[in-house]
Amino acid sequence: MQRILSEALASHAGRKVTIAGWIHRRRLLKSVAFLILRDRAGLAQVLVTDPAVRAQLELLGEETVVQITGLVVANAAAPGGAELTEPEITALSEPVTDLPVELHRPTLAATLPTLLDHAAVTLRHPSRTAVFALSAALVRGFRTTLDQAGYTEIFTPKIVGSATESGANVFELDYFGRKAYLAQSPQFYKQTMVGVFERVYEVGPAFRAEPSDTARHLAEFLSLDVELGFIEDQRDVMTVLREVLAGMLASAQGFGFDLPTVPAEIPILHFAEALKIAGADPAELDLAPADERALGEWALREHGSDFLFVEGYPTAKRAFYTHPEPGGSAYSRGFDLLFRGLELVSGAQRLHRHDDYVAAIAARGDAIEPYADFLEVFRRGMPPHGGFAIGLERFVARLVGASNIREVTLFPRDLHRVTP
Amino acid sequence: MQRILSEALASHAGRKVTIAGWIHRRRLLKSVAFLILRDRAGLAQVLVTDPAVRAQLELLGEETVVQITGLVVANAAAPGGAELTEPEITALSEPVTDLPVELHRPTLAATLPTLLDHAAVTLRHPSRTAVFALSAALVRGFRTTLDQAGYTEIFTPKIVGSATESGANVFELDYFGRKAYLAQSPQFYKQTMVGVFERVYEVGPAFRAEPSDTARHLAEFLSLDVELGFIEDQRDVMTVLREVLAGMLASAQGFGFDLPTVPAEIPILHFAEALKIAGADPAELDLAPADERALGEWALREHGSDFLFVEGYPTAKRAFYTHPEPGGSAYSRGFDLLFRGLELVSGAQRLHRHDDYVAAIAARGDAIEPYADFLEVFRRGMPPHGGFAIGLERFVARLVGASNIREVTLFPRDLHRVTP
């Protein structure tokens, strides 16, 4: 008999159906027993009165996979308003006996190590699946928004020949007897591809050999990258970022999270003005966490916005490929998007002229040679361009209020953890 | 002035507009000059009569990025039926002088090394952009089909702690002073996630330290992975694969490629029957390339189909996690999809009981210990499940008839190549 999902039970009242899933919970009362079945759509209640079936159920622990055929009866007290009665139960997996956690509790009582060591089980808790269903929906919204705006999705290599973007914190690889590295970002490739498609995006892993063991660093994370050509300045990039955020959040409704609203116009502050509002030393070259918090409060108070753009960060503190403000300014066309007082996304207009790259690298006292491949691209005709990158896990952690980024990562990788 | 795309030129006849893009070609005739501009939408013709503008154009080589403001005039001989006249040209990049290839020729005359060494330029040729626009559309079709069928997209780690799936051909990594590896596939993770979401897919890089330098191997490729639970047998997986292929090809129309039609029912042969039809030795444990070619011809002749399923490959030749046919058969529930006589996709029903895994690993004479993390998942209640993986580049190479997989990879990685 064709399986139906739990959510379809009520619409089959009076009929014999088959459902299948995991035994979420058993309640073995004196006169009757209840089995709560969990499938990808939700929960279904099964009423067991036959002593033989009850005896069978007693041997099938929570998380055993079963298929159950029975008669659907309306019952306002059951999840979805119907329950399955007169069940015949077939076990599809071996009986499960020793679970590391109780999945039927409303909240999952487990320490972070337990959560991660037993991910195969703990990820099944509805509070956990909701996080990853949300993540998938956010990525879908990201792509849909950009597809509709004429962007092309690209797939660029994660094994790279040189570690130019930031020499530190890069994973080294034995590549057929030579040294190679894991890409820290698709930065140079997405810029190159602006020369091909004008507007590109990539969703892929990025790797940082991050030696600090904090609640917000991962050695491997998912980077949502955007780059677009023919811009006037960073404002065009910020406009795209706003659209992308709105598209992501619109796509992510319905998973039980209280998501923020992206205003039609996200307020924008220049870095110098932001320092003033935060009451920071005007000579500062970056915003301290306390400054960001103060700015978050200001944006909410003055503009009713959870989001705030800060643009014009000092060139000295941004990546070498960041475009400066014109006229010899020490400020750049780099920006950050703050969400409730925390940095969420970084972006910028990039340099697009070969000579500007050579000058920028020389100004930092770096050698040109390691950048040769990359710089060659800018001798082939590149338009003014810019972009941004969203770290998915950090974004999700802030949206759902997770205190540790590992809680919103399926199988996190860090200084200490490379399994499961 | 707001830029318009080349495709919008004709609808602006009689008006002053701005276009922007790359100088695709210059034709400096005696009395006039023509500039063909390329943007992401196509080509636009610009008529230059002013001697000063012509002198300017003479200094701007092909691939220089320009912005051009002028008057649109209908001209049936121009691409799109209109051209830009009385142009004012502003260079947005430095002038480009020494191109490695001529991009304005209908076909790109370049050896494979030139194509790859100068990817930043050669990828701009319309014959090349078409391949990667097709690739993006195929992936979009893959995701859309699965999203609509209740699948959840997952993102699993590419750095893994053990090299269990296939000890050979794995890249080794210095992971904070320990050894780790690059994932050859998300196989174990997608199976684990069937326990969470029932139906999952992943689009991500996979890595093989493939020491053979052939036209169809890459060290890094994009793997489109699907896994689903609550199946009867491999036929349920094959049904999903057919739907996915149809969705991918439907999404990939319009890029100038003659794509095959996926029949409503792809013919299916059992492995034993396939050997007979191919005239091979009945004791063979796999299909030789000549057998696959013969089967491709058979499918076209007998069923008018470019596609053919072969199921029931001998268990001995498939991955240890492949489910055998019942009753002690030496055949498995593994299948291949052949496309015009070439293997395109592999899939199978997998084992889902812990004891079956232990037995299967022991039967191969392998130790259980390296698989411990993975096997633990099967003690936690796993439904019958199966899936498949499509290697994007190999799939695209066959669709477009590329003789070398590197031609359909943006920045290929192989035994000899790790740049650009």
Does residue B277 form part of some domain?
A: yes
One domain for residues B48 and B178: no
Q: What is the pLDDT of residue B410?
A: 98
Q: Considering the domain boundaries, does residue A107 fall inside one?
A: no
What Å distances lie between residue A368 and A159, A180, A376, CA to CA? 21, 19, 11
A411 and B173 within 8 Å at the Cβ level: the answer is no
- A142 in a domain, yes or no? yes
Q: Confirm whether A99 is domain-assigned.
A: no
d(CA A130, CA B278) in angstroms, rounded, equals 50
The answer to whether residues B86 and B157 belong to one domain is: no
Given a contact cutoff of 8 angstroms between Cβ atoms, the answer to whether B22 and B65 are in contact is yes
Backbone angles phi, psi at B116, to 5 degrees: -85, -40
Say whether residue A54 is in contact with chain B using an 8 A CB cutoff.
Answer: no
User: How many CA atoms are closer than 13 Å to the CA of B144, on its beta-carbon side?
Assistant: 17
Residue A166 confidence class, pLDDT cut points 50, 70, 90: low
A104 occurs within a structural domain: no
Q: Can you tell me the mean pLDDT for A125-147?
A: 98
Is B414 part of a structural domain of the chain?
A: no
B203 contacts in A (CB within 8 Å)? 203
Residue after which a domain boundary falls, among A91, A114, A144: A91
Cα–Cα–Cα angle for B205, B208, B211, rounded to 5 degrees: 145
The first and second tokens of residue B21, run together, are 């893009």
Query: What pLDDT is stored for residue A165 in this prediction?
Result: 57
Predicted pLDDT of residue A369: 86
> Residues A347, A237: contact at Cβ < 8 Å?
yes
End residue of a domain, out of B50, B71, B91: B91
Contact between A171 and B175 under an 8 Å Cβ cutoff? The reply is: yes
CATH of the domain at A178: 3.30.930.10
Q: Note whether B93 contacts A222, CB cutoff 8 Å.
A: no
* Residue B337, strand partner residues: B309, B345
- Examine the domain organization and report whether B150 and B69 are in the same domain: no
Residues B250 and B129 in one domain: yes
* B337: helix, strand or coil: strand
Residue type, B271: F
Is pLDDT above 90 for A228?
yes
Return the DSSP state at B221: E
Q: Where a domain ends, among A91, A111, A146?
A: A91
pLDDT at A164: 66
Q: What share of chain A is helix, strand, coil (3-state, %, to 5)?
A: 35, 25, 40
Report how far residue A191's alpha carbon sits from residue A198's, in angstroms, rounded to the nearest whole number: 9
CA distance B148 to chain A (A): 12
The residue type found at B393 is E
User: A251 and A141 share a domain?
Assistant: yes
Asked if B369 reaches chain A (Cβ–Cβ under 8 Å), the answer is no
Position A108 in a domain: no
Q: Is the pLDDT of residue B324 over 60?
A: yes
Q: Do both B72 and B147 map to the same domain?
A: no
pLDDT of residue B20: 98
pLDDT tens digits, A230-247: 999 999 999 999 999 999
List C-alpha distances in Å: A37 to A157, A264, A352, B275, B333: 43, 43, 58, 45, 29
Measured between CB atoms, does A420 come within 8 Å of chain B? yes
One domain, residues B300 and B181: yes
Indicate which of B125, B396, B411 best probes the interface with A, i.e. most A CBs within 10 Å of its own CB: B411
Looking at residue B166, what is its pLDDT? 56
Q: Cα distance from A373 to chain B (closest Cα, Å)?
A: 6
3-state helix, strand, coil in chain B (%, to 5): 35, 30, 40
Structure tokens at A203: 């969703």
Instruction: Kindly write down the DSSP assignment for every residue of B68-95, as one continuous string.
Output: EEEEEEE-TTSGGGEEEEEEEEEESSPP
CA distance B316 to B364: 9
Which pLDDT value is given to residue B122? Answer: 97
The answer to whether the CB of B22 falls within 8 A of the CB of B37 is yes
Work out the average pLDDT over A325-353.
Answer: 96
Neighbours of A402 (CB within 10 A): 18
Q: Is B80 touching A (CB cutoff 8 A)? A: no
Question: In A, which residues are within 8 Å of B200 by CB distance?
Answer: none
Question: Same domain for B168 and B244?
Answer: yes
Q: How confident is the model over B148-185, as pLDDT tens digits?
A: 999 999 999 999 998 765 567 999 999 999 999 999 99
Q: Which residue range forms the structural domain that includes residue A12?
A: 6-91
d(CA A183, CA A163): 8
CB-based contacts of B323-326 (< 8 A; 24+ apart in sequence): B323/B233, B323/B234, B323/B348, B323/B349, B323/B350, B323/B351, B323/B352, B323/B386
ipTM of the complex: 0.97
Contact, A348 vs A333, CB < 8 A?
Answer: yes
Assess whether A256 and A296 both reside in one domain: yes
Nearest alpha carbon to residue B359 among B324, B318, B388: B324
Provide the pLDDT for residue B267. 98
Task: State which amino acid sits at residue A309.
Answer: F
How does pLDDT run across B226-273, given as a tens digit for each residue? Answer: 999 999 999 999 999 999 999 999 999 999 999 999 999 999 999 999
Q: Are B199 and B163 within 8 A, CB to CB? A: no
Q: A20, A66 in Cβ contact below 8 A?
A: yes
Q: How many A/B residue pairs have CB atoms within 8 Å?
A: 243
Q: Which residue of B has its CA nearest to A123?
A: B196
Token representation of residue A289: 């966490």
pLDDT at A378 over 70: yes
Burial classification of residue A342, based on how many CB atoms lie within 10 Å of its CB (0-12 exposed, 13-18 middle, 19 or more buried): middle
CATH number at residue B23: 2.40.50.140
What are the DSSP E strand ranges found in A29-121?
33-39, 42-48, 65-74, 82-91
- Residue B369 is predicted with a pLDDT of 86
Q: Write the pLDDT tens digit of every residue in A58-76.
A: 999 999 999 999 999 999 9
Q: Which residues of B touch A370 (CB under 8 A)?
A: none
Average pLDDT over chain A reads 96
Could you give the number of structural domains in chain B?
A: 2
**What is the structure's pLDDT at A211?**
87
* pLDDT value for B167: 60
- Is A67 inside any structural domain? yes
Cis omega before residue B420 (within 30°)? yes
Contact B396, B402 (CB under 8 A): yes
Q: Domain check: are A129 and A75 in the same one?
A: no
Question: Pseudo-torsion of CA A88, A92, A97, A98, nearest 10°?
Answer: -140
Question: What is the spatial distance between Cα B119 and Cα A377, in angstroms, rounded to a whole number?
Answer: 9
Helix runs in B253-409, H state only:
271-278, 289-303, 354-363, 372-377, 392-400
Are B58 and B181 in a shared domain? Answer: no
Closest residue of chain B to A201, computed from CA coordinates: B136
Statement to judge: residues A164 and A31 lie in one domain: no
- Name the nearest CA neighbour of B119 among B137, B106, B96, B100: B100
Compare all CA atoms of chain B with the CA of A40 and give the residue at the minimum distance.
B197
Say which residues have a Cβ less than 8 Å from residue A290's Cβ, sequence separation at least 6. Answer: A278
CA distances, A19 to each of A10, A85, A88, B18 (Å): 12, 12, 11, 61
Question: Would the pLDDT of A394 be above 80?
Answer: yes
- The secondary structure of residue A325, as a DSSP letter, is P
The closest CB to that of A171, out of B139, B174, B193, belongs to B174
Phi, psi for residue A189 in degrees, rounded to 5: -70, -40
The CA-based dihedral angle spanning residues B158, B161, B167, B172, taken in that order and rounded to the nearest 10 degrees: 70
